[in-house]
Amino acid sequence: AQSVTQPDIHITVSEGASLELRCNYSYGATPYLFWYVQSPGQGLQLLLKYFSGDTLVQGIKGFEAEFKRSQSSFNLRKPSVHWSDAAEYFCAVGARGATNKLIFGTGTLLAVQP
Amino acid sequence: DAGVIQSPRHEVTEMGQEVTLRCKPISGHDYLFWYRQTMMRGLELLIYFNNNVPIDDSGMPEDRFSAKMPNASFSTLKIQPSEPRDSAVYFCASSLEGLAVSYEQYFGPGTRLTVT
């Protein structure tokens, strides 16, 4: 079965600084990978996804993520963080095959300092 | 489209009472998912439907939980009887296609359930 780990529970960055949120997965083959963002009191919104092809994926709001098979990672990056990026970020993994289930990580809460 | 609609947004009930959460997926979406989010366990998939048929309910915690989808535009998640440990935020999500195709899940705003 697949699993996903987000090692950082809470991260604080200064506005304008770069950001990298870590995500590691466990799966026997190449999985489907996703990053979602949850603003306070809201549902989750998809930022980006990786299915195949180019390992560097561009998403909404200036985010990108890179799939690294050798490291079983799918880290989320943004070159310059805005105060509005403060939210909780979830990495998720889906197994190829008949199932349509996503397994979510425990989330990383991002705080942005002015 | 108005997105995924959930009601109520907040529910406070006493232990032992029946609770019904409601969801209207995005029109045309074939998949509907129910999730539960808690601090301790994170975001867990409870059950999902495809074309109104329950496909995988392995995440439903126990027999007190049941879910139905009588038509393509409506689903319910029922807890009977409710217990304090059921307190959580319950999300409904829908998607147009399955995981093997494109698969973006659209989440509703959630129902915050408090059982006292």
Q: Is A100's CB within 8 Å of B109's CB?
A: no
In angstroms, the CA A68 to CA B39 distance is 29
Tokens 């939980």, residue? B65
pLDDT of residue B109: 93
pLDDT of residue B101: 61
Q: Which of A20-24, A51-55, A110-114, B73-77 bottoms out in mean pLDDT, i.e. has the lowest?
A: A51-55
In angstroms, the CA A42 to CA A15 distance is 22
pLDDT of residue A95: 80
Q: Is B109's CB within 8 Å of A104's CB?
A: no
pLDDT in tens, A25-60: 998 788 899 999 999 888 899 999 998 889 999 999
In angstroms, the CA A18 to CA A112 distance is 11
In angstroms, the CA B26 to CA B29 distance is 6
pLDDT in tens, A69-94: 999 999 999 999 999 999 999 999 98
Contacts of B53 in chain A (CB under 8 A): none
pLDDT in tens, B53-73: 999 999 998 899 999 999 999
Q: Identify the helix (H) or strand (E) that includes residue A93.
A: strand A87-94
Task: Select from A33, A32, A59 the least CA-distant residue to A47.
Answer: A59
pLDDT of residue A98: 64
Q: Which of A102, A108, A109 to mutate to test the interface with B (most CBs of B within 10 A)?
A: A102
Query: What is the arithmetic mean of pLDDT over A101-107?
Result: 90
In angstroms, the CA A53 to CA A51 distance is 7
Contacts of B49 in chain A (CB under 8 A): none
B55 vs A2, more confident:
B55
In angstroms, the CA A108 to CA B97 distance is 28
How would you label B49-73 residue by residue, b for 16+ Cβ within 10 Å and e otherwise? Answer: beeeebbbeebbeeeebebebeebb
Query: What is the arithmetic mean of pLDDT over A65-69?
Result: 95
| Closest Cβ opposite residue B107 in set A44, A95, A97 | A44
Spans of chain B below 70 pLDDT = 1, 99-102
In angstroms, the CA B22 to CA B67 distance is 10
Q: Is B109's CB within 8 Å of A99's CB?
A: no
> What CA–CA distances, in Å, run from A25 to A19, A28, A57, B36?
20, 10, 17, 21
**3-class secondary structure, B41:** coil
Backbone torsions φ then ψ of A69, nearest 5 degrees: -65, -40
| Closest Cβ opposite residue B31 in set A94, A100, A106 | A100
Contact residues, chain A to chain B, C-beta under 8 Å: 32, 41-46, 49, 51, 90, 94-97, 99-107
